Amino acid sequence: MKRIGILTSGGDCQGLNAAIRGVAKALYFRFKDDVEIYGIIDGYRGLIEGNYKRMKPADFSGILTLGGTILGTSRQPFKLMRVIDENSVDKVKNMKENYKSMKLDCLVILGGNGTHKTANLLREEGLNVVTLPKTIDNDVWGTDMTFGFNSAVDIATNVLDCIHTTATSHGRVFIVEIMGHKAGWMTLSAGIAGGADVILIPEIPYSIDAVTKTIRQRTKDGKHFSILAVAEGVLSQEEAKLSKKEFKTARAAMAFPSISYRLAQEIGDQTGQEIRVTVPGHFQRGGSPCPYDRLLATRFGAAAANLIAEKNYGNMVALQNDRIVPVPLGEVAGKLKLVPPDCDIVRTAKDIGISFGE
């Protein structure tokens, strides 16, 4: 009898339930009645506290198009995993003991970068682990694509599409703040697809003078509106020169709710134009997964079941050159897949006249 645990960790995104379903359906198809699946509630917290339940085949029915995660999720910072908390809880010890008490053959973990760090820690502690890469940021190293990304890009692009009509009607400058603290894949993709005039991403520090120069030139050319797609983690060229500590101090003292509002103030002061800020926020993570993400999540789930059947543990399921392949967790953990400033997508944007504020 195979006993498999499944948990989802970190931020939610579209496609989590589709991936859970893919894992379960493939396991049931391969092992029939010789498999038991245990859903661990609220991510690593559930594994630490021993909060889990035996799942039935019916639990995985009707969830392909459902957003969020039926198992719940939580954020458990990797840097605190080996820290004994105020309640004397040894998190790593508890996770290992609960894994053993469930008599698991393998633990399937769905998550992003922080999740994969902890998954690799569990692998190093001797647990059988297989992971699936999810995040709207598409910044997990070792895979061309994460599920959740395309669904979120669809939403962000729709926001930009809708902003266009009001921007053109009123002749305003609109800033749309898109999720992405460290990686700009989402802002880059939605910005191009949504026809943004300026795209600002964390990987390419911006000059406010270059941004306003673009806006002024558009006005001079008779275009009285501009759309800026701005990643929430962007930084100016001046900020890029600061140390990590100095940058955090400067941002903590910033008198604006987010970088987009600071940009709005600066652009308004330099151009005299009317600026509006739109922050779709968690809308980008919600709702049903798009067809692409349903397919990708299902492919990942089925591949995870195959790795379990082959006892090929310690791997993340990844998409590379449109093929599903295993990537060792030791190679994935602790690495970010950032946008190369000279990559083809950035060059495409520049070729059609999009400014990156350089």
Catalytically active residues are 137
With both helix axes pointing from N to C terminus, report the angle between 16-31 and 291-309 in degrees, rounded to the nearest 10: 40
Q: Would you say 134 and 111 are in contact if contact means Cβ atoms under 8 Å apart?
A: yes
Angle at 60 between CA 55 and CA 66, to 5 degrees: 130
Structure-token pair, residue 242: 């600061």
Query: Distance of alpha carbon 351 from its chain centroid, rounded?
Result: 27
Task: Report DSSP state, residue 285.
Answer: G
Query: Three-state SS for 137?
Result: coil
**CA-closest candidate to residue 276, choices 226, 236, 233, 235:** 226
- Specify the pairing of strand 198-200 against strand 315-320: unpaired
Q: Would you say 313 and 307 are in contact if contact means Cβ atoms under 8 Å apart?
A: yes
Half-sphere exposure of 4 (CA within 13 A, CB side): 31
Distance CA 130, CA 50 (A): 20
Structure-token pair, residue 45: 């917290």
Please return the burial class of 210, using the count of CB atoms within 10 Å of its CB with bins 0-12, 13-18 and 19+. middle
